[in-house]
Structure 1
Amino acid sequence: MGVSLLVQITSIYYPVLAAVGVPVNLVTIVILSRGKCGLSKCITRYLLGMATADLMVLIIDVIIRSIVGMYFPLSFFTITPVCSVNWAMTMAATTMSVWFTVGFTFDRFVAICCQKLKTKYCTERMAGVVIVTVILLSCLINIPWYFTFESVYITDNQPRGCTWTPSFLTSPSWTSFELLTFTVTPCLPFVLFLLVNSLTARYIIVSGRVRRLLRGRNSGENGKDPEMDSRRKSIILLFSISGSFIALWSTLVVYILAERILGAEFIADSDLPTISLMLQVLSTCTNTCIYVLTQRMFREELKNVVKYPVNCIVKLIISLKH
C-alpha cells in the first residue's frame, strides 16, 4: 500500500516550515530587540515573547518531534524519556505562544478602551510580570504530560517511541487533565479573542463617531485626527494578529469539540487532526508577515538587517581586491 497523499505533503511541509520559520523568527527577535520599530516598550515585550515562543515551538515540535521523528526513527530523540520530555516542552511552548498573544490582545484592549487603567496596566513592568507568570504557569501545567507515555518497543535495552499509557486512555483523572489543558489552550483563548476584539471594535466605532462629531462642532475641521490615526495603526496590528490566530487555530478547536461531542471513533479515519496541527504550527510564522505588512518602521529595520550581511560581503570583496 502506497504512502497517502497527506503523509507525502507533511513530509515536505514541515521541513519547508522550519526552513522559513526559524530564520524569520530569529530576524524578528533581533529587530524587536533593537527597539527601533516605533513601538512602545510594553508592546515590544509582548511581541518579543510571542516570537521567542514561536521559535521554541518550531524547534521542539516541528524540527525535533516531527522532522527528526519522521526521518530519523532511531535518533536520540526517539528514546522514550526524551520523547516524553519533548512532548511536555512542546505543550508548554505552545501554551506560552498562545497566552502571550492573549496578553498582548488584552493589553491593547486596555490601552484603547480603558483610559483610566491604561497608565497603570500598559507598562513595561506589567508586561514583564505577565510574561513571567505565563512562562511559570505554562511549564507547571504541562509537567504531567511527561507521565502519560510509555515505550513502543525496546532496542539495545533502550525504550523507544512514545505511546499513550493505558491509564491515560482510561483514567477519569487523566481525562479531566486532558480536558483542562485543552480548555486552557486553545479553547479559552479562542473565546477571549472573540470577546475582547468585539468589545474593542464596538468601542472604536462608538468613540470614532463621537470624536468626529466633537471635532466638527468645535473647530469645523475635516482633516486628519492624529489620535484616531495612532489608534487605527494599533488596531490593525491587534486585529491582524488575533485574526490570524483565530483563522489558523479554528480547525483545531473544531477537531477538539468534535472529538468530545461525537467521540474519537467518529473522526478516527479523518484527516482533520493532521490538517489542524499543520495549520496550528503555521501560526508560528505569520506574525512576522503581519509586522511587515502593517508596520512601516519594521519594514525599514528588516531591510537594514537584510542589507547588513550583503554590505559586509561587498566590503570584504573590495578589500580583498585592493
Structure 2
Amino acid sequence: MFDWPNITVPSSSEQGLKPGDGDLQRSTCVLGFFPVIYYSSLLCVGVPVNILTAVALSRLAARTKKAMHVYLLALTGSDILSQLFIIFVGFLLETAVFHREVPTLLLRSVSMAEFAANHASIWATVPLTVDRYVALCHPLLHRQISYPARARRIITVVFFLALLSGIPFFWWSDMWRVVRPPTSLDSALIWTHVMIIYFLPCSIFLVLNLLIIHRLQARQRQRRLGKSTAMLLAITSAFAILWAPRTIVVIYHLYVSSVHKDWRVHLAYDLSNMLAMLNTAVNFFLYCFVSKPFRASVRDVLLLRGGSVVPPKDNPQPAGPRQSLYILAV
C-alpha cells in the first residue's frame, strides 16, 4: 500500500514553515492508488450510462410530452457535468496527473464550476419531487400547471441559481492541503455548502415524500402498492445515504480534527467523497429497475430502433403510483 502525501503543492503558509515542522502532522492517503482506479472506473461507466440515459429520456420526453422527463433529463445532464468537472478535471487531471501544479486561478475556477454542477445535480431533483407531489396529491392542479415548456423554464432558473451559488466557492479551501485551521470564511463556506447540498434539499424531500406516502397509503386499493411504497422509500433514501457520510466528515473537519492533520479523517473524507460521487452514476440502474417504459426506450436505443412518437394505449394511468417511483432517483 502506497502512502501519498496529503500535500502536493506547498502553499504560502507551508513554505514559511521550518523543515520538519509540518511533516509530523501531515496526514497521508492510506488508500494508495485505489482512488485513481475507482474514479477512473466510475468515469468510464458513469459517463456512457448517463449519455444513454439522456438519449432514452429524450425519446420518452418527445413521446409522452411530460414535464417529469424534462426534470429527469436536467438531472442526468447535471450528473454528466459533475462527473466531468469533479471527477475528470478536478481529481484525475488536476490532482492525479498534474499534482495540482497549475495556476491558482485555474484551480479556483474549476472549484467554482465543480460546486455549481454539484448544486445543479442536487437541486434539479427538487422540482421533480414537487411535480410528483402535485401529481399525486393534487391531480387536477397538476394537469393545469405541469407541462414541458414550464418545466424547461423552471430548470433554466434552477441552473442559473446553481451557477450563482458556485461563485462564493471560488474561495473554497482545499481540505487535503491547507495547513492552517479553518477560518471564519472556511466555516461560512462549509456551512453554506452542507446546507445547499444536504440539509435543505433533504428537508424538502422528507416533507414531500411523507405527504406522498400518506396519500399512497390512503389510496391503497391494489396489493402492489405496498411494494411501490417500499421502492419509493428505497429510491428516496439513495441520495440521503450516499451524501450523509461526506456531510458528517466535513462538519467533523471543521470542529474536531482537520483532514490535513489526522489520517483517519483523511481516510473518511476520501471514502465519503467516493460514495457521494457514486450518486452521479446510479440513476440509470434505478430507472431501469423501476420503469418498464425506460427499459424499453433503452432497448430501442441500444438496438438502434426508432421510438414511436405516439404514446402507447396500454398505459391509461400515466399519473398513477408507478410514476411516483421516479421521485428521487438521484
Output the TM-score relative to the length of structure 1. Answer: 0.75
Change (3 A) 1:86 1:266: closer
1:52 corresponds to which residue? 77
Tell me the distance in 1 between the aligned counterparts of 2:189 and 2:96.
Answer: 32
Change (3 A) 1:206 1:266: farther
Alignment match of 2:147 (pick from 123, 132, 148): 123
Q: Is structure 2 residue 76 aligned with structure 1 residue 82? A: no
Cα deviation for residue 238 of structure 1 reads: 5.3
1:2 corresponds to which residue? 2
Q: Is the 8 A contact 1:46 1:100 kept in 2?
A: yes
Alignment match of 2:210 (pick from 195, 198, 205): 198
Change (3 A) 1:199 1:249: same
Change (3 A) 1:86 1:7: same
Q: Is structure 2 residue 271 aligned with structure 1 residue 246? A: no
Alignment match of 2:193 (pick from 153, 156, 181): 181
Change (3 A) 1:2 1:288: closer
Structure 2 unaligned spans of 5+: 4-28, 306-330
Tell me the distance in 2 between the aligned counterparts of 1:72 and 1:127.
Answer: 40
Structure 1 unaligned spans of 5+: 151-161, 213-223, 310-322
Query: Relative to structure 2, which stretch is displaced further, 262-271 or 98-107?
Result: 262-271
Change (3 A) 1:7 1:37: farther
Change (3 A) 1:239 1:104: farther
Q: Is structure 2 residue 130 aligned with structure 1 residue 134? A: no
Output the TM-score relative to the length of structure 2. Answer: 0.73
Q: Is the 8 A contact 2:79 2:280 kept in 1?
A: yes
Where in structure 1 do 4 or more consecutive aligned residues deviate above 3 Å? 36-40, 147-150, 162-166, 235-241, 256-268
Cα deviation for residue 149 of structure 1 reads: 5.9
Partner SS state of residue 263, structure 2: coil
Identity %: 24
Equivalences, count: 277
Tell me the distance in 1 between the aligned counterparts of 2:294 and 2:258.
Answer: 44
Q: Is the 8 A contact 1:28 1:51 kept in 2?
A: yes
Alignment match of 2:126 (pick from 96, 102, 105): 102
The code of the aligned residue for 1:245 comes to: F
Q: Is the 8 A contact 1:105 1:242 kept in 2?
A: no
Alignment match of 1:73 (pick from 94, 98, 102): 98
Partner SS state of residue 31, structure 2: helix
Q: Is structure 2 residue 330 aligned with structure 1 residue 306? A: no
Q: Is the 8 A contact 1:108 1:238 kept in 2?
A: no
Q: Is the 8 A contact 1:88 1:146 kept in 2?
A: yes
Cα deviation for residue 175 of structure 1 reads: 2.7
Tell me the distance in 2 between the aligned counterparts of 1:236 and 1:125.
Answer: 32
Query: Relative to structure 2, which stretch is displaced further, 1-10 or 47-56?
Result: 1-10
Q: Which structure 2 residues correspond to residues 125-274 of structure 1 after superposition, within 5 A?
A: 125-148=149-172, 169-170=182-183, 172-208=184-220, 212=221, 239-260=233-254, 262=256, 264=258, 268-270=262-264, 271-274=267-270
Q: Is structure 2 residue 56 aligned with structure 1 residue 31? A: yes
